[in-house]
Amino acid sequence: MANTNRTLQPVTETKILHLDSNHPLLWEQLEQAGFQNFEDFKATKHEIEAEIHDYHGIVIRSRFKIDRHFLDKATNLQFIARVGAGLESIDCDYAESKGIALIAAPEGNRNAVGEHALGMLLSLFNNLNKADREVRSGHWNRESNRGHELDGKTVGIIGYGNMGKAFAKKLRGFDVEVLCYDIANGVGDENARQVKLSEFLQQVDVVSLHTPWTPETDKMINAHFINAFAKPFWFLNTARGNSVVTADLVAALQSKKILGAGLDVLEYEKLSFEHLFDHEKPPAFDYLLQADNVLLTPHIAGWTMESKIKLAQTIADKIVQLYR
């Protein structure tokens, strides 16, 4: 959380605009702390811009992008709180240059993401979804659904922050080696050994992506990157869809360079994460829909009953802390 360098007025004079619905405890705890809560879940971005100068704080999920134009209209804004992990929908540099504090809540859904990634991996290894569909269709195929064991494998985690660490923690009960690769130094811990990219590419059997979406990670999982791995591998993405070139992923699935993929996020998602594209489906997406060794979920890795509460609690705590 970046701290604002603006002088903060008393809590009781602080007006917060909620732009998305969240767990009611967020509203209730801010109200109990003395903040003034307001909501507007339906107005357009243009309509919000016309009134945003009246507010000192924003609480948002991913309804629309908060860009320079929006921030220039928000002349009294002191913080932006995103009820989620990433801040890519906000022009962070420009906001911070205006002294606006940025608040996110990766602590709130990291456990959910870790569990979802593990669930996807075990389902891929054991053909659970495929076998279930076949039995329901009257087919009892045992040999074609012979699975793989996770024990003895090397799991590689790209991006070892809140989400990557949560996934590594979930792997502690398995006889696996866990490696992590991150641009930051010294992030490895008792659950994962940090290695250079060269070793990572040589050793891993499973790749799980846990990076934020930045200019550096945009389209990073492409043909060149995939083909640099020494062994065929399974791939998980519970991070951001735009970090993966889907056509290159599909080519790797077809060539069996990638043995299977669990995708909670897709390159085709809209910025709000609430919808996929509304135009003709690309051929690569059609392949994903038909492939037996691909699992698809609608950006719900961090979307549990428990994480909804934890995300709201984390944001409430951080806003209150900002004004202490």
| Strand residues in 176-286 grouped as ranges (E) | 177-181, 193-194, 206-209, 233-237, 258-263
- In three-state secondary structure terms, 57 is strand
Q: Contact 20/60 with Cβ under 8 angstroms?
A: yes
Which of these is catalytic: 136, 142, 190, 280?
280
Number of H helices, E strands in the chain: 12, 12
Name the pairing type of β-strands 101-103 and 154-158: unpaired
13 is catalytic: no
Which string of b and e fits 277-295 if b means at least 16 CB within 10 Å?
eeeeeeebbebbeebebbb
The residue from 82, 240, 267, 269 that is catalytic is 240
List all residues 6 or more positions away from 61 whose beta carbon is below 8 Å from its beta carbon.
19, 20, 22, 82, 83, 84
- 110 given a catalytic annotation: no
280 in catalytic set: yes
Q: How far is CA 26 from CA 16, 20, 45, in A?
A: 12, 12, 23
What are the residue numbers of the active site? 240, 280, 299
